[in-house]
Amino acid sequence: MDDWYDVAIVGYGSVGQTLAILLGQRGWKVGVFEKQPVPYPLPRAVHFDHEVARILQAAGLGEELPLLTEPDTYEWRNAAGETLLVIGSQDTTLSGWPEANMFAQPELERALDARVHALPSVAVHRAVRSSASVPEGGRSRSSWRAPRAIGARSEPAGSSAATAPTASSAGTWGAPSPTSASSSTG
């Protein structure tokens, strides 16, 4: 792989997928880099509000979303079972979506993945680790270049997660000169 992208996204969870779709729909050439070879099969998130539903609708999931969600009241309780916070209801908001939506993350990510793969301007690269520099003395086995890089992956501090260039190394938004970065398999 030796590719030029308008935007490089590091991380292919639901946030990276949604961003890739929104940019790809607007004609941006997007490269997405994910260190995991296959999607994580268990849920990590289970709730989103009506504003996130609008974003997912803009990403092309408007007709599928009711099949992937269950409108419900979302409650936080303490160890004693006392209610701390209640969010939403089954009522539809002014946005047209229920205020609170429960979902299974793997199902949502499958729907997002199908939408991503329907966009010719988006390329997904799995089982790669990305970093913001090319090894000293030459090129890595594969490389990508993009003037804009976004880290859409959340990892604990000190972990060996995929990383993206910092704002200072990536230049300003819309800068004409590309940032070089490398990615290696494994």
Instruction: Say yes or no to pLDDT of 1 above 80.
Output: no
Same domain, 38 and 51: no
Q: Note down the domain range covering 84.
A: 47-103
Report the C-alpha gap between 54 and 61 in whole angstroms.
9
Name the nearest CA neighbour of 101 among 152, 67, 63. 67
- Same domain? For 130 and 178 the reply is yes
* Same domain (yes/no): 58, 33: no
Q: Which residue has the higher pLDDT, 132 or 50?
A: 50
The domain spanning residue 7 has which CATH number? 3.50.50
Q: Is 114 domain-assigned?
A: no
CB 14 within 8 A of CB 105: yes
Segment 29-42 mean pLDDT: 94
Residue 186 falls within a domain, yes or no?
yes
Give percent of the chain above pLDDT 90: 47
Q: How many domains does the chain have?
A: 2
Mean pLDDT value of segment 10-29: 96
* pLDDT tens digits, 70-118: 767 677 889 999 999 887 666 788 888 988 888 989 999 999 999 999 9
- Residue 164 falls within a domain, yes or no? yes
Is 116 part of any domain? no
What pTM was estimated for this model as a whole?
0.72
Question: Which pLDDT does position 145 carry in this prediction?
Answer: 87
Residue 166 pLDDT > 90: no
For position 169, what pLDDT does the model report?
A: 30
**Dist CA 55 CA 57 (whole Å):** 5
Quick check: 69 and 90 in contact, CB under 8 A? no
39-43, 47-51, 125-129, 154-158: least confident range:
154-158
Q: Is 112 within the bounds of a domain?
A: no
In this prediction, residue 15 carries a pLDDT of 95
